[in-house]
Amino acid sequence: MYTRKILPILFVCTLAFCSCQEKKADYFEREAKEYTEKHCPQQLDEFTRIDSIVYVKNDEAGELKLYYTLTLSDEARAEVMNKLSELGEENLRIVRNSVIYAKHKEAGVSFTYIYHDATLGDKIAEYHFTKKDYE
C-alpha cells in the first residue's frame, strides 16, 4: 500500500560547488534549510507530505532529520501500523542506494525519518540509521 515513489530532491549541488572554506557540516545545514524553505511542505503522494529537512550538528558526523506527515483514513492507518517494519526497511534501502545522500554517507551522517499522523497529530514512527546501518 505505502511505497514512496518520489524521493525529495535534496542537495542538488555537490560539495564541488560550495566554497572550499565551508565545512561539510555547515554545507549540509545550509542545504537542508534552503531545501525546506524552497520546497516544503511538499506532497509526495496521496498519503505522504514532507514537511521539513533539518541537519543537526553534533560531536559525531551530524544527523539529517526528515519530517513527514501521513494523511490516512482509519483503514489505511491500521494498514500502515501493521507494516511499520517494512516502512523502516524501505527507508534504509533508500539511504543505502541514494546518490543524493552520497556526500552525507561519505561523511558518516546519521539519518532519521520521523512520521506524524495528520489527523491525530501523533508520531507514528521514527527510524534512525547510522553509518553502521547503511554501509
Give residues with Cβ within 8 angstroms of 92, minimum separation 6: 127, 129, 133, 134
The cell for 8 is 525529495
- What is the mean predicted confidence (pLDDT) over 109-120? 96
Eight-class DSSP state of 78: H
The cell for 102 is 552520497
Q: Residue 15, by phi and psi: left (phi above 0), alpha (psi -120 to 50) or beta?
A: alpha
Task: For residue 79, name the pLDDT band (cuts at 50, 70, 90).
Answer: very high
Check residues 82 and 60 and name the one with the higher pLDDT. 82
The cell for 121 is 497529530
pTM (two decimals): 0.82
Across 7-11, 93-97, 109-113, 125-129, least confident range:
7-11
Angle in degrees, 0-180, between the axes of helices 84-97 and 74-82, rounded to the nearest 10: 70
Query: Which CATH number, 2.60.40.10, 3.20.20.70, 3.30.300.250, 3.40.50.970, labels domain 44-134?
Result: 3.30.300.250
Q: Specify which of 3-7, 14-18, 59-63 reaches the highest per-range mean pLDDT.
A: 59-63
> Could you tell me if 107 and 60 are in contact, meaning their C-beta atoms sit under 8 angstroms apart?
no
